[in-house]
């Protein structure tokens, strides 16, 4: 098993960087979001391309090489203690081919983000580094929710205080039982899109799954692709977060149960993790214990050192 590598926690006065590895950032939302971070007495640097927009492909925050260069510069800067994604959207997979991943995964540093940032979590988690599936720097809608705000701050500054990763809301039992393993996963669409690429990493442990805006048949297609590829073969437990789509919420939940319940591993649903305003930060790559009967998820190590 790959050694668990836990980056150092943040302390007052530390410097962090904000990058835009996927979609473009709204300047006002970024300013409001970074104010929350600065209120934690940390120095926030916004990297040069964070507010850029690709002229030809406006859903990207600037050119692939520029986004990659910003991420590399922030990650390799020894004075930067954490790298926050500004937002998700789409674009990380395009950026990966412009990075020398071997030099990046050798560095222990906090990575903060979710959604499209799953493509980066997958790379670092495969090498043992613990990362934070978490609200992002321009996610003002999430950062202003007290429970969301407090969880992220606790994980960053006093990680030993987080004893149940699913609290305060808990989760509903789908398949009862208890299991232990590393917490992996993230956004289902990104995990499925990774299959067959150089950064594909088959998970072994407890898997977190979340997504947004995917209709029932599309969730079915994504999960079926993962199932047929053998992606779930070494999965020992399942934590299903938010699949935010109001028009087909019940159908999507039923599709997930129909596809995954037959795996027979401990499974919970309804975890407050994903694209809703209440988005509890959790450490990916960390050994945890899932008690699906009680709806709890307990860290077996302090998430950050």
Q: Supply the residues annotated as catalytic.
A: 115, 210, 275
- The dihedrals phi and psi of 271, each to the nearest 5 degrees, come to -65, 140
Dihedral sign, Cα of residue 177, residue 178, residue 180, residue 183: positive
Q: Burial letters for 57-88: b for 16+ Cβ neighbours within 10 Å, e otherwise?
A: eeebbbbbebbbbbbbebbebeebbbbbbbbb
Contact yes or no for 211/219 (Cβ under 8 A): yes
Instruction: List the alpha helices (DSSP H) in the chain.
Output: 27-38, 64-76, 92-96, 101-105, 118-126, 140-143, 146-157, 188-194, 216-228, 249-260
Say how far apart CA 186 and CA 190 lie, in whole Å: 8
Contact yes or no for 127/105 (Cβ under 8 A): yes
> Three-class SS of residue 16?
strand
Say how far apart CA 82 and CA 79 lie, in whole Å: 9
């Amino acid at each position: 098993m790959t050694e668990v590598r836990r980056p150092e926690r943040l302390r007052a006065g530390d410097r962090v960087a904000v990058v835009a590895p996927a979609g473009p950032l709204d300047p006002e939302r970024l300013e409001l979001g970074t104010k929350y971070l600065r209120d934690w007495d940390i120095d926030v640097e916004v990297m040069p391309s964070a507010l850029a927009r690709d002229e030809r492909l406006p859903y990207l925050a600037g050119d692939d090489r520029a986004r990659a260069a910003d991420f590399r510069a922030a990650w390799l800067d020894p004075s930067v203690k954490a790298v926050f994604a500004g937002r998700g959207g789409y674009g990380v997979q395009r950026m990966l081919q412009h990075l020398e991943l071997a030099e990046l995964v050798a560095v222990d540093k906090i990575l903060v983000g979710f959604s499209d940032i799953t493509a980066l979590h997958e790379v670092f988690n495969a090498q043992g580094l613990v990362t934070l599936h978490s609200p992002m720097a321009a996610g003002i809608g999430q950062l202003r929710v007290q429970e969301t705000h407090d969880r992220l701050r606790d994980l960053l500054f006093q990680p030993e205080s987080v004893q149940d990763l699913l609290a305060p809301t808990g989760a509903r039992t789908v398949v009862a039982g208890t299991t232990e393993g590393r917490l992996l996963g993230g956004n289902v669409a990104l995990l499925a899109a990774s299959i067959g690429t150089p950064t594909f990493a088959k998970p072994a442990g407890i898997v977190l799954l979340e997504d947004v805006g995917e209709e029932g048949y599309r969730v079915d297609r994504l999960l079926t692709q993962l199932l047929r590829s053998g992606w779930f073969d070494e999965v020992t437990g399942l934590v299903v977060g938010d699949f935010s789509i109001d028009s087909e919420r019940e159908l999507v939940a039923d599709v997930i149960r129909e596809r995954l319940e037959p795996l027979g591993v401990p499974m919970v649903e309804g975890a407050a993790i994903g694209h809703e305003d209440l988005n509890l930060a959790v450490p990916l790559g960390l050994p945890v214990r899932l008690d699906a009967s009680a709806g709890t998820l307990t860290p077996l190590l302090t998430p950050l050192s």
